[in-house]
Chains A and B, each alone.
Chain A
Amino acid sequence: MEVNHQHAHEPHVHHPGCGHQHVCWGAGQEHTHHHRLRVSDISVNYHEVVALEDIHFDTECGRSIALIGPNGAGKSTLLKTLAHLIVPDHGQILWKGQRMQSSSNEIAYLPQRGDVDWNFPITVRGLVEMGRYPNLGWWRPYSRHDGEIVERALAAMELLDLQKRQISALSGGQQQRTFIARALAQEAHVLLLDEPFTGLDKPSQETLHRLFRDLTKEGRLLIASHHDLATVPAIFDDVLLLKRKQLAFGPVSDVLTKERIGNAYAV
């Protein structure tokens, strides 16, 4: 059983996900109770090739983790495995102390922007509404409650003015924020992001960085693949250094040493 949170302020406002969960977005307060994500001894094979081996780490909501490693190190594979899109050949993932058996609305997967057809005929709001699917299923009608959650997600990502836009008419940063808003509408605790900062201009990167901080402060766990080593310390709390095998995991300052980076990127 989860510990219920009492909201000292705004007692009448419904915070989506509250009551039996700890993510109270928009509340803007830090939470003391954090869910744990424990990954033990994960390995993934593609046919005969080992894509990931011996991945093990333990973390909790409220943190942001950068997945760092050279091309082909298995960053995307790890994200997909955590999202249960790939079932590991060995090892297990424990979320809130329980083994993950299927995809969960508490864990959101955000692919690389390049993997998506931005000409798809849908608006920003339409895309964010997709996040309500786990609650609605095939046929349940879209309720006012769903509308409020979508509204809140759009507001949190500063997209209210853009909600009627076709998604191809967005900048890279706006597209990334739309993805995150979709994850918020899903009421996700864990956000798995594949290269969210890639291809963004400086101001968009800074906006995203700020939103990342807000999200972790709300008690969400962010795990993102990232390739710009220089910006890691500013954005992330922890680093998982990866080259098929897990080379290191821990706070940024401990992991990102010259020696370790040299090892990871050595040919």
Chain B
Amino acid sequence: MTTFTEFLNEPIARRALLACLMIGFANGFVSAFVVLKKSALKIGTLSHALLPGIALAVMLFGLTQWSALGGAIFAAMIIGLGSVFLARTSRLDQDTAQGILYTTAFAGGYILLSRMNIRQKLDEWLFGSIVGMSDSDLWIAFGISAFAVLVLTALQRPLLIYLFEPNIAASLGVPVRFLTYALFAVVILVLISSLQAVGCILSVGLLVAPAATVYLFSNNAKTLFWGGGIIGALGSVAAFFLSYPLGWHISSTIIVVLGAMFLVAYIVSPRYGLLAQWRRR
């Protein structure tokens, strides 16, 4: 165990721990929105679309954090809006359009990146690299997390009406279109921070599981946001401490821990758990 304490004294480990806390909280917080909006699948496809954007930006501007970040934002915007456009201008629905666009983009991005001789970086984008974070990465993660929590808290009142029923929201004067775009932007930013932590393949887990777990306990939408943040942070930090002694890949450990927490909630939740349902029968 001495090696683990030694490891903890390394700046790199402390940065990773801090990143787990911040990214876990922000993603958990935003996961309440994803769960209430029922858009988990959409987020999953969106996260895959980030890869080609990163590839393109790395090709054009060289490999820096900012180019990767910019590329990811660009890709998400283009493909998110592209699927809306494709759906409007053809007889396809948006899900179908997304299914085609995202997989094509992901495959294209993978080919580009794998041709660029940055094998190790590629793995990091696919599966995350929370241990390899620099100070500037950490600042980006902090900025994104603070922004996401701030925006969702400030917009809580109109947001909940919008999530409940968009038509009711519009009839009450909630700016539905503005909310749609603002939240799309927040989700993309948070996705990018989770990209760092768990990579684009696993990021959906971090953006769904925390609030889904709280959803099994609470009937209060606000609890879903803050509880999701806490579960996300707890799960990520726990995974950090588990992964080193066990020798597990940390990103996967984060998702496995969050998945396990959800499973426990699903079984033992006093109101909506499996056991409670059996007992009521």
Give the B-binding residues of A (Cβ under 8 A).
80, 83-85, 102-105, 107-111, 115-117, 120-123, 126-127, 130-131, 133-134, 136, 138-139, 166, 182, 186
The contact string, 1 if C-beta is below 8 Å from chain A, for chain B 230-265, is 000000000000000000000000000000000000
Query: Across the interface, do A134 and B173 meet the contact criterion of CB distance under 8 Å?
Result: yes
When chains A and B are docked, how far (Å) is the Cα of A136 from the Cα of B155? 13
Contact B219 A122 (CB under 8 A): yes
- Residue count of chain B within 8 Å CB distance of chain A: 25
Q: Which single member of A104, A109, A122, A166 contacts B167 (CB below 8 Å)? A: A109
| A122 and B158 in contact, given A83-B171, A116-B164, A130-B172 (Cβ under 8 angstroms) | no
Decide yes or no whether B154 CB sits under 8 A from chain A.
yes
CA distance A138 to B172 in the complex (A): 12
Q: How far is the CA of A121 from the CA of B115 in the complex (A)?
A: 48
CB distance from B135 to the nearest CB of A (A): 35
Q: Considering the chains assembled together, what is the distance between the CA atoms of A105 and B165 in angstroms?
A: 16
List, in ascending order, chain B residues with CB within 8 A of A108's CB.
171
Q: Kindly list chain B residues whose C-beta atoms are within 8 Å of the C-beta of A103.
A: 170-173
Question: Residue B224 at the A interface, CB < 8 A?
Answer: yes
- Residues in A with CB closer than 8 Å to B171 are 83-85, 103, 107-109
B164 touches A120 (CB 8 A): yes
A265 to B11, CA, bound (A): 76
Contact B220 A121 (CB under 8 A): yes
Distance between B10 CB and nearest chain A CB, rounded to angstroms: 42
B29 to chain A, nearest CB (A): 15
Instruction: Let me know if B201 is at the binding interface, CB within 8 A.
Output: no
Chain A residues with Cβ below 8 Å from B163 are 120
Q: Are A133 and B218 in contact (CB under 8 A)?
A: no
Q: What is the CA–CA distance of A115 and B167 in the complex, to the nearest angstrom?
A: 10
Contact: A121 with B224, CB < 8 Å?
yes
Chain B nearest CB, measured from A82 CB (Å): 10
The reply to whether A121 and B215 contact each other, CB–CB distance below 8 Å, is yes
A80 to B174 Cα, complex, angstroms: 15
Contact assessment for B167 and A85 in the assembled complex, using a CB-CB cutoff below 8 Å: yes
**Nearest chain A CB to B156 CB, angstrom units:** 9
B29-69 residues at the A interface, CB under 8 angstroms: 36, 38
A107 smallest CB distance to B (angstroms) = 7
State the 7 A-B residue pairs at the shortest beta-carbon distance, nearest first: A109-B171, A166-B219, A133-B172, A121-B219, A83-B171, A121-B221, A130-B161
- Given the interface pairs A105-B173, A121-B215, A138-B157, the reply to whether A130 lies near B168 with Cβ below 8 Å is yes
Chain B residue contacts of A186, Cβ below 8 A: 172
Q: Mark B200-232, 1 if CB is under 8 A from A, else 0.
A: 000000000000000100111101100000000
Alpha-carbon distance between A122 and B118 when the two chains are bound, in angstroms? 49
Which residues of the partner chain B approach A110 to less than 8 Å between Cβ atoms? 168
Q: Is the CB of B173 within 8 A of A111?
A: no
Flag if B221 contacts A138 (CB, 8 Å): no
Are A111 and B172 interface neighbours, CB within 8 A? no
Chain B residue with the shortest CB-CB distance to A119: B215
Give CA–CA (A131, B154) in the complex, Å.
Answer: 19
A122 in contact with B157 (CB, 8 Å): no
**How close is A137's CB to chain B, nearest CB, in angstroms?**
8
Does A105 contact B172, Cβ atoms closer than 8 Å?
Answer: yes
Bound complex: CA of A166 vs CA of B215, how far in Å? 13
Q: Tell me whether B170 and A133 are in contact (CB under 8 A).
A: no
Contacts of B170 in A (CB 8 A): 85, 103
- B173 and A138: CB pair below 8 A? no
Residue numbers in B under 8 Å from A127 (CB-CB): 164
